[in-house]
Amino acid sequence: MAGVEPVVVPPEVDEVAIAEAAGGREDPRELVELLAVAKAEAVAAAAGPEAGLVLGCDSVFELDGVVYGKPHHAVVAAARWRAMRGRTGVLHTGHCLIQAATGDRGTAVVSTSVDFADVSDEEIDWYVATGEPLPVAGAFTLEGLAAPFIRRVEGDPHSVVGLSLAALRELALGLGVAWPALTGAEAPAG
């Protein structure tokens, strides 16, 4: 992605337990930051100091002040789509970047508005039947089969996909790592 070739390590964290331990925080920005930190810490601890930079991310979708995570079940995804269609919600994505060798870290939360088309029940049923919305926050993917159902995105579109590249760059800079070092690509001569 954008020249960065990450090693993807699924974190061993219980997102529900972490959210419950936080006392059911209502602020979605605090929740995604907490979950991103937990994920990054888990991977950094398992990988050890030689891991380099470790990034943890998490997203939730907010509609009318209600926070939604992954639907996991078709009936839940369909109900969410019926509530979201023709409306605008906000996807919040938390990021935590840890320098594994030192433990230094930075966090960022990016919030992006997503405006949904007034999709039909038939379109919702088709989309849910594909299974695509079940494992993702908000029950939609900007880059996948739901793309034609999204009218507009206001904010960072990369954060809707799950990782704000602009936020990652800023976090890396905060840890003393410039973007070119993340890509491993050398600048052209001349």
Rounded (to 5) percent helix, strand, coil in the chain: 40, 25, 35
Catalytic residue among 14, 27, 58, 64: 58
Query: For 7, which DSSP code?
Result: P
Q: 155 is written with which tokens?
A: 């904010």
Instruction: Kindly provide the residue ranges of all beta strands, DSSP E only, lying in 44-186, ordered along the sequence.
Output: 53-63, 66-68, 88-99, 105-116, 150-154
Do 28 and 93 meet the contact criterion of CB atoms below 8 Å apart? no
Is 58 a residue of the active site?
Answer: yes
- Residues marked active site are found at 58
